[in-house]
Structure 1
């Protein structure tokens, strides 16, 4: 049974944030329970689920809680418009751009004096990992592309967990039963300009430092995709031996110490779990 929620759909006990007028332009702010010695770094986290409306941020709420607790950071679990509920091209991308532009300040206002907006990391899992990589490469988008910005994002980096890092490759594989084509409105041969404006493997190296964490036994997206992306972009890959697609968002999995260590390196915290 879902947790009791307010009008934003946020479980009770979390700080709801609203970054637009659409019901899905909302997020939940997770804070560590123990007092911090200074201001908290901020992680903007995008959930996965093939960019489809059937999957929302509730399935990563426990992950966001654990990340805030174990890494002493503030975590914003971001919702966005998805395919089947007003999302897809270009709304999912413009929501992502709006979220990363507005949510740091909104989170800071919701928790006065607790958040360091100078230490921000974009993070995400699967389709959300794609959005995090894309958000950090908006300065590399073609002119006129939705979400384009002239300057690199002022972030420490990106933590991409089993990301859809190559949209054309994922489409050829038929990942998520045609999820990429549903998201962009066709194959790379049918809508090449959309792939050029949305595919991290085409856009190149994101702003800040990027760490990709991917299981070697990922059943949804092959480890070869992460290997090729990190090799091409010069970013860092942490492989989880025998790890599955969902191990990387499971705080009880063997992947968890690797994820905490990677995030700690990005936000400048030494000792992790």
Structure 2
């Protein structure tokens, strides 16, 4: 599945491609390429929505169009979610892993620099971005292990992310969203929480940035604060940026100061 190159009215996108990474209709991503000859650094964008299929990758399209204006390729991925056939445990996590590793296949054709790939996720997507950074620590017999060698990220950014699934389960975030994702409570299947939660996979071994608004009423700031403490104690390099007065959704508004700050952090991680 490939939509031919075209220009967007929102900025200098030299090419846009809709590309499948698996056989399911929801296993695809949108690749936005900047002008120039490459190779391009890559930001993988992962949308949120408490892992439920009421939300999709259109949430991140504005960010993708903004990134190409900074000379960065954007890989905005879709995945099977809670409510989709094959979604939730383990399909949602396996899809995000497959979409990431598919960059190995795309790199030669689209001139992507796989030494400079940063994952950026919002809300539930923040969980998935950090999980990608830690999946190399999964046991060989984990159902979340993929056959290929995981593509290693240069860094990861969580935008108000649900980065500690155990804490999120205890807080009953999203009216039980974590239990829906993992298809079990923490008390019934603790091993699923241990394999799917970034906080349980620490240290991730790459630089991490957490950006979170102080007025967030969907994912409380204390989730990022607690994660940052655990990550630093585990030896990871972590930056926590607290935005006073910022709500949950301003972080994915491409016209906001919060997003421009995120772009600056992306640039630092890409080097």
Q: How many residues in Structure 1 have an aligned counterpart in Structure 2? A: 256
Q: Select which of 7, 13, 19 maps to 1:17.
A: 19
Q: Select which of 222, 225, 228 maps to 1:227.
A: 225
Q: Distance in 2 between matches of 1:233 and 1:11?
A: 41
1:203-218 aligned at under 5 Å gives the runs: 203-218=201-216
State the match for 1:44 in structure 2.
Answer: 44
- The more displaced of 55-64 and 146-155 is 146-155
Structure 2: 5+ residue stretches without partners? 8-15, 233-237
State the match for 1:81 in structure 2.
Answer: 80
Q: Distance in 1 between matches of 2:184 and 2:253?
A: 32
Work out whether residues 8 and 26 of structure 1, in 8 Å CA contact, stay in contact via their aligned partners in 2: no
State the match for 1:236 in structure 2.
Answer: 239
* 1:31 to partner: Cα distance: 2.2
* 1:30 to partner: Cα distance: 1.4
State the match for 1:93 in structure 2.
Answer: 93
Q: Distance in 1 between matches of 2:192 and 2:3?
A: 31
Matched, 1:146 2:114: no
State the match for 1:254 in structure 2.
Answer: 257
Q: Select which of 176, 179, 200 maps to 1:178.
A: 176
Work out whether residues 127 and 163 of structure 1, in 8 Å CA contact, stay in contact via their aligned partners in 2: yes
* 1:10 to partner: Cα distance: 11
State the match for 1:3 in structure 2.
Answer: none
Inter-CA distance 37–31: structure 2 relative to 1 (3 Å threshold): closer
Matched position secondary structure for 1:137? helix
* 1:141 to partner: Cα distance: 1.8
Q: Distance in 1 between matches of 2:26 and 2:38?
A: 32
Q: Distance in 2 between matches of 1:151 and 1:56?
A: 27
Matched position secondary structure for 2:257? coil
Q: Distance in 2 between matches of 1:140 and 1:16?
A: 31
Q: Select which of 107, 117, 120 maps to 1:123.
A: 120
Work out whether residues 130 and 164 of structure 1, in 8 Å CA contact, stay in contact via their aligned partners in 2: yes
Structure 1: 5+ residue stretches without partners? 1-6, 269-273
Q: Distance in 2 between matches of 1:147 and 1:266?
A: 27
Runs of 4 or more above 4 Å deviation: 7-13, 149-153
Deviations 1:101-156 (A, max 9, x none): 112432542x3x4x222211111111111111001101222341133379774221
Deviations 1:239-263 (A, max 9, x none): 1121111111112222122101100
Matched position secondary structure for 1:132? helix
Q: Distance in 1 between matches of 2:182 and 2:136?
A: 20
Q: Distance in 2 between matches of 1:250 and 1:170?
A: 24
Q: TM-score, normalised by structure 1?
A: 0.87
Work out whether residues 81 and 88 of structure 2, in 8 Å CA contact, stay in contact via their aligned partners in 1: yes
Q: Distance in 2 between matches of 1:107 and 1:67?
A: 18
Work out whether residues 19 and 103 of structure 1, in 8 Å CA contact, stay in contact via their aligned partners in 2: no
Q: TM-score, normalised by structure 2?
A: 0.87
Q: Distance in 1 between matches of 2:252 and 2:134?
A: 23
